[in-house]
Amino acid sequence: MDRSRPDEETIAAAVALACRAPSVHNTQPWRWRLGDRSVHLYTDPSRQLPATDPRGADLLLSCGAALHHLRVALAALGWRAIVHRLPNPADPDHLAAVEFARREPTDADLAMAAAIPRRRTDRRRFSSWEVPRPVLDLLAKRAAEEDAIAHEVVGTRDRFELATAIGEAAAVQDADPAYRSETRRWSGGHANVDGVPAANAPSGAPQHGDVRLREFPGGELIDKRMDEWDDDGGSLLVLATSSDDRLSLLRAGEAMSAVLLEATAAGLTTCPLSQPLEVAETRDRVRTDVLDGTSCPQILLRVGWAAFNADPLPPTPRRPVTELIDQWEPR
């Protein structure tokens, strides 16, 4: 037995956990190829959403989250991931080559891996309880470890600018027939292995305080409210990077995964928001008016406590791992 690399069962288990990563509209736009001593991550260009994500940013963020999930899974299984990002300039779909080194898993490694199957994207209103400052500081630290900045949006001006950008982006996209058609295609399924299931999407366009969420047609999720006037106490984070190139987007996806898993391990619930960054004008507004032009916004995250009467969310479906590995010829 070759002890310098994980066996096939270990690799398959790690990839299966990696494929639990969040992705735009649950498109799962990744593919994997196994080498003799490595695992390779590729994008699946056929799953890019041209109306929603014309510049491919959401696709790269999604794949970055899968890469970080893979790293977390390998660490819990006793392997350190040695990651070579964008290893082949001639092949832009080849995002990472991952090699392995033996290591003993720590309690923190196991906690992060255990958070993967428990994480959900919760589009419902959060509790009025605020996220404790030490937890927010820890989330910012996790983002920084992945070369990203977690900017908490506080203050009347910044919240207004961000809420306005969210609303304007929704208006722009809702006026686009191609966007509406694309969203319907990836929404409301009951037995699909991809897309946003009806059971995980509220009916209509959710509005939580000053934050409007994307509408997924056919949603059936009931948002129980004991008090219609109770505030949503969740925090809004903008994950940003110093640059806006492909590597920065990939790293932002890894940072998103790190923050989401740390929040889940702390008992919080989360919801990524990409809509205001999918429209050029509102993305520029977030960068200029919320981040003061100091960094490039890549994804927004709602983080908070689930409402005490909220029912558990079912896991979103995933494509069979066997369909995602070794489907492509070596390049």
The answer, yes or no, to whether residue 329 has pLDDT greater than 60, is no
Per-residue model confidence (pLDDT) at position 328: 41
Q: List the CATH number of the domain containing 240.
A: 3.40.109.10
Per-residue model confidence (pLDDT) at position 214: 95
Average pLDDT of span 19-46: 96
Q: Is residue 64 part of a domain?
A: yes
Average pLDDT of span 266-282: 97
Q: Is residue 128 part of a domain?
A: no
234 plus 100 within the same structural domain? no
Q: What is the pTM of this model?
A: 0.95
Q: Is residue 171 part of a domain?
A: yes
186 plus 276 within the same structural domain? yes
Q: Is residue 173 part of a domain?
A: yes
Per-residue model confidence (pLDDT) at position 5: 84
The answer, yes or no, to whether residue 331 has pLDDT greater than 60, is no
Residue range(s) defining the domain that contains residue 26: 8-119+316-323
97 plus 177 within the same structural domain? no
Report pLDDT digits (tens) over 78-110: 999 999 999 999 999 999 999 999 999 999 999
- Please give the mean pLDDT across all residues of the chain: 93
155 plus 295 within the same structural domain? yes
29 plus 141 within the same structural domain? no
Residue 327 banded pLDDT, cuts 50, 70, 90: very low
292 plus 249 within the same structural domain? yes
- Percentage, residues of the chain above pLDDT 90: 85
Q: Is residue 329 part of a domain?
A: no
Write the CB contacts of 262 (distance below 8 Å, at least 6 apart in sequence): 112, 115, 138, 139, 142
216 plus 167 within the same structural domain? yes
Per-residue model confidence (pLDDT) at position 330: 42
Q: How far apart are CA 271 and CA 129, in angstroms?
A: 16
76 plus 195 within the same structural domain? no
The answer, yes or no, to whether residue 143 has pLDDT greater than 50, is yes
Report pLDDT digits (tens) over 1-20: 567 789 989 999 999 999 99
Residue 225 banded pLDDT, cuts 50, 70, 90: low
Q: Is residue 328 part of a domain?
A: no
Q: Is residue 310 part of a domain?
A: no
206 plus 167 within the same structural domain? yes
The answer, yes or no, to whether residue 231 has pLDDT greater than 90, is no
Residue 230 banded pLDDT, cuts 50, 70, 90: low
195 plus 238 within the same structural domain? yes
CB 252 within 8 A of CB 148: yes
Number of domains in the chain: 2
93 plus 211 within the same structural domain? no
Average pLDDT of span 171-184: 97
The answer, yes or no, to whether residue 192 has pLDDT greater than 70, is yes
The answer, yes or no, to whether residue 219 has pLDDT greater than 80, is yes
Average pLDDT of span 21-42: 96
Residue 227 banded pLDDT, cuts 50, 70, 90: low
284 plus 137 within the same structural domain? yes
Average pLDDT of span 193-197: 95
CB 148 within 8 A of CB 240: yes
Average pLDDT of span 244-260: 98
Report pLDDT digits (tens) over 289-303: 999 999 999 999 999
- Percentage, residues of the chain above pLDDT 70: 95
Q: Is residue 281 part of a domain?
A: yes
The three state secondary structure string of the chain is: CCCCCCCHHHHHHHHHHHCCCCCHHHCCCEEEEECCCCEEEEECHHHCCCCCCCCCHHHHHHHHHHHHHHHHHHHHCCEEEEEEECCCCCCCCEEEEEEEEECCCCHHHHHHHHHCCCCCECCCCECCCCCCHHHHHHHHHHHHHCCCEEEECCCHHHHHHHHHHHHHHHHHHHCCHHHHHHHHHCEEECCCCCCEEHHHCECCCCEECCEECCCCCCCCECCCCCCCCCCCCCEEEEEEECCCCHHHHHHHHHHHHHHHHHHHHCCCEEEEECHHHCCHHHHHHHHHHHCCCCCEEEEEEEEECECCCCCCCCCCCCCCHHHCECCCCCC
